[in-house]
Amino acid sequence: MPNLLIVDDEPDIHRALKPVLAGAGWTVLSANSAAQALNLARMNPVTIVLLDLGLPDIDGKAIITKLQSTNPLSIIVVSARHQESEKVAALDAGADDYVDKPFGITELLARIRAAERRAGHWASQATSYEAAGVRLDVGVRRVELQGEEVHLSPKEFELLRELIAHAGQVVTHRRLLMAGWGDVTVDPQYLRSYVATLRQKLEEDAAEPRLIRSEPGVGYRFGS
């Protein structure tokens, strides 16, 4: 069974999550510090990490890159830090998703399953992506919605590519600016304008988007 690592200094979190995750088929590893987490990740083929940011020895954001260097894994930050700046910093550091404490077990399990699906799906599709009825073929730069071709400008294509390649995850404004312009100092209004155009081309109702959802102050999420 795959290994899932919980990194949190709250014993109640481990007690609450361990039986639920074990029942879902995971082998659950536990760490209450950054040092212990890195040691466990180096010694075990971990697939998913649930990472708290408020660790006793170091800020959790500081070990995101180090954890990812040990295994090809997905990191879901689970934290009581609700500030937008904290979420942006964690996602820009390489986290795949962010769940606020207190959280619902059902939602957390759904985020974990989504991370599993993405890991398997994108590994098998290096040049094409498909999610929520949208298919993007990188080689021929073609986009289809429900089988019908949609014509996108080069920047629209690159923004959609970044979003759909991380479907279900929050993609920060910073990452999208790099994908579209290669420069994080570009006026964010340009990004908002291009996202609005993408919604016009892809959404059934651009005023009530279901494919490209806003994460206020942080970025955008493609799909659920």
Q: Considering the chain, what percentage of its residues have pLDDT values greater than 90?
A: 52
What does the pLDDT average to over 46-63? 94
How is residue 129 annotated by DSSP?
A: E
What does the pLDDT average to over 30-35? 96
Rounded CA separation 202/209 (Å): 9
> Quick one: pLDDT at residue 124?
47
Rounded CA separation 124/18 (Å): 30
Q: Does residue 14 carry a pLDDT above 60? A: yes
Q: Does residue 140 carry a pLDDT above 70? A: yes
Is residue 194 very low, low, confident or very high in pLDDT (cuts 50, 70, 90)? very high
pTM score of the predicted model: 0.66
Q: Is the peptide bond before 188 cis (omega within 30 degrees of 0)?
A: no
Q: Does residue 130 carry a pLDDT above 80? A: yes
Rounded mean pLDDT of the chain?
Answer: 88
Domains and CATH numbers, the chain: 3-123 (3.40.50.2300), 126-222 (1.10.10.10)
